Each structure stands twice: as C-alpha cells, then as structure tokens.
Amino acid sequence: MSLLPKHPTIKVMLVDDHPMVQDGLSACLSYYDDIEVVGAINDGKEALAKAIECEPDVILMDISMPSMNGLDATEIILESLPNTKILIFSMHNSAEFVTNAVQAGASGYVLKDTGSEEVYLAIKSVAKGNTHFSSSIAQVLIDQPAKNQERLTTREQVILGYIAQGFSSKEVAQTLSISYRTVEAHRRNIKSKLKLDSLAELVRYAVEQGLIEKNEKA
C-alpha cells in the first residue's frame, strides 16, 4: 500500500507587535500540517536577525511597529534573503500603503480582518512564487488609485545619502553589510526614479531633501 506524498512544510515567521495577533495567528496556522511557525517577533529590527537565523520561506509582516516599520524591514530582509517571500498583514487599507509594500518587494498584502483560511491560502500562494492580495485590497486600488509617481524607498534614501557624501559603491556596501551588486542596483533605481544622471544632480537632490542626515540614523 503506497502512502500519499507528504506536502513540503512551509516555514513561516510572524512579525507583529501585538501579542494577541501573534497568538491568534500561531493558533490558526497550527491546524495546518504543512505550516511550521519558526519564529514570532514583535519588532522590525529584531526580525532582521531572526530571519537570517531561521531563513523562513514566508514572513507574515505587520507595517506599524516600533524601532523599524514593516516596509523598511521587508526591503532590508529581501536584500539578504531574496528567496524569502514577504506577505504584508496589516490593518492599513489605503492604496498608498499597498503600493509602497509592493515597491519594497512584498509578494502580497492581506488585511487583519481576513479569515484564517485566506491567510493560509495566501501563504501557500506566495511560497510558490505567486502574489496574493485580498479582494478588498484590489477594490481599494480601483477606488483609490495611488498617485502616479515613483518614490525612493527608505533603503534607497539611505544609500543616496552616502553617495551624496562621496562614498563609493564599495564603501556603501561595506558600511551597510550588503553586496556591491546590491548597491549598484539601488544606484540604477535611484537614477531611474529621479531621472537624474550626474553625481552633482544627485547631491543637490539629497541636500534639498535632507537625506544626508538619514544615514546617521539608519
């Protein structure tokens, strides 16, 4: 008698600063044999270290948290763990938040009033490399389209701040503990978004926006 093949377990990390939300998610996900919760973190900065340690397949990420918000954490985690998928789990339902989440690299966005079955299906979907957005989120994007302008992510702002001070890509990479290739990719994105080519123009923009001070707080 042959046994049915066992579904591979999806390692999930929860990042939310509300213990009741974490407990509720953990309880709901425990009913699914193919889900393993490998960590529950309540702070964006702590999530960075825990993600490197656990290498989860999917991170369920809140947005509003102390120390570092979920969008910044998403961007930085994906620099080190490009194969990890991040699913935003938030109460914010504005088009701007959704658009910013996608720009940060999130694979999906579900609201906190979403039922446990949909959360499970969303985790399964993004783990396979697909995207998942709550139906209500899709409607928000239709009713309240985000402003048609590209913004620099927090990470791009920090990198631009260093560039404006004369740091080379190699020095920026060493300072932020990321690869040279990642810094170069950010530089290309910054120039493309701002439609600026020369270093002088980038420096002028950074000074006008006060970005040179951002690297001191990053």
Q: Locate the domains of the chain by residue range.
A: 10-143, 154-211
Give the global pTM: 0.74
Which residues have a Cβ under 8 Å from the Cβ of 197 and sit 6 or more positions away?
191
Report pLDDT for 201.
83
CA atoms within 13 A on the CB side of 158: 16
> Residue 16 in 3-state DSSP?
coil
Report pLDDT for 7.
67
User: What are 190-201's pLDDT values in tens digits?
Assistant: 888 888 888 888
How far CA 130 is from CA of 43, 64, 110, 113, 139, in Å, comes to 26, 25, 14, 22, 19
Q: To the nearest 10°, the Cα dihedral for 21, 24, 27, 30?
A: -50
Res. 74: pLDDT tops 90: yes
CATH no. for 10-143: 3.40.50.2300
Contact 103, 58 (CB under 8 A): no
How far CA 128 is from CA of 48, 55, 198, in Å, comes to 22, 16, 40
- Both tokens of 191, joined, read 């120039």
Confidence of residue 14 (pLDDT cuts 50, 70, 90): very high
Closest CA to 68 of 81, 49, 95, 85: 49
CATH no. for 154-211: 1.10.10.10
What count of other Cβ atoms lies within 10 Å of the Cβ of residue 128? Answer: 12
Report pLDDT for 150.
67
Mean pLDDT of 82-109: 89
Closest CA to 49 of 177, 186, 185: 177
Question: ∠13-107-17 over CA atoms, to 5°?
Answer: 40
User: What are 136-185's pLDDT values in tens digits?
Assistant: 777 666 666 555 556 788 888 889 999 888 899 999 999 988 889 889 98
Report pLDDT for 99.
83
Confidence of residue 204 (pLDDT cuts 50, 70, 90): confident
